[in-house]
Amino acid sequence: MTTAVPKSRRPMPRRLMPRWRDYGRPRELVLRYLLLLFVLGITVGPLLWQFLASLKGTGEDVFGENASLLPHDPTLRAYREVFEQVPVATYIWNSLFVVVLSVTSQLLFSTTAGYMLSKPAWKGRRAVWVLLAASMMFPFESIMVSLFLSIRDLGLVDSLVGVWLPGFVGAINVLLMRGAFLAVPREIEDSAMIDGAGEWQRFRHLYLPSAWGAILVVVINTFIAAWDDFLWPLIVLRSEANMTLTLGLSRLQSSSFGYDQRVVMAGSVISIVPVLVLFFITQRWFYKGVSAGAVKL
């Protein structure tokens, strides 16, 4: 006759730790990590080099045989000179103005248009879907001249509204929202209709909360595109008071400011800090939104 051991005295099972062979063969594992390190060096390496170069003093070389990766005497002199040479606060305010307009319009039009394209009762949705997909085949440079002529005829040259207007809605964002809305089960909408929910109520309380991840993807993509845009503001804007951050910081490369390579690197780092902060905060929801919106894109 065996005596039952109380649960409190039973030995706890050892934690199952993954073994190296669970990840694949050693040769494949080494190759995988080498590939990841190579991709990391390509993507993060230039940014890290710019940041380290911006910390170098005037006596250290940025390029050449005597240049080193790490600064010997780190200093923030280059960052102080950026704020002294150009009105960075004005540039940031102009960029934020364009970003807010772009994000607002993209959310408004991409969500409503994506919702309409996801409704099977609308007969013209397939033709619109084909037109939107075809529009993404043409690069911006092919329509750049016609866009500028349109902006000029509207009297929006040297205006922040003229910078925002061509990108008030994007085809890729509309298709992304369409894919996210298609993932909502039809039975849930039928139940809401039986309960008496109207079209606007279903869109607001059913579809939008279900597509939160895709909405965040639209916000991040729009923020990055509007913040980092350089070519279109260069074409439209004329006066310094209306320049965006990327366009204004490019003036640091002119000879009138002495063209200090360390100052140029510091300006580049300043311009990408908001994008990095936004991405690191929202990266978890960003990847979920991409996968959710791409299922039925």
Distance CA 232, CA 158 (A): 11
Question: pTM, whole model, 2 decimals?
Answer: 0.79
Neighbours of 219 (CB within 10 A): 21
Distance CA 237, CA 296 (A): 39
Q: What is the DSSP string of 98-156?
A: HHHHHHHHHHHHHHHHHHHHT-TT-TTHHHHHHHHHHHTTS-HHHHHHHHHHHHHHTT-
pLDDT of 292: 54
Please tell us whether the domain made up of 87-293 is placed in CATH 1.10.3720.10: yes
Distance CA 261, CA 276 (A): 22
Neighbours of 178 (CB within 10 A): 27
The owner of tokens 């993404």 is 136
pLDDT mean for each 10 residues of the chain (297 residues): 54 52 68 87 86 83 75 85 88 94 93 86 78 84 90 92 90 88 83 82 86 87 91 91 90 68 87 85 68 50
Query: Which of 233, 231, 244 lies closest to 270 in space, CA to CA?
Result: 244
pLDDT of 152: 92
The residues, ordered by sequence, that sit 6+ positions from 216 with a Cβ below 8 Å of its Cβ are: 282, 285, 286, 289
Phi first, then psi: what are they for 121, rounded to 5°?
-75, -20
Within the chain, which residue ranges are assigned CATH 1.10.3720.10? Answer: 87-293
pLDDT of 13: 53
pLDDT of 279: 79
Q: SS3 of 73, please?
A: coil
Q: SS3 of 39, please?
A: helix
The residues, ordered by sequence, that sit 6+ positions from 122 with a Cβ below 8 Å of its Cβ are: 116
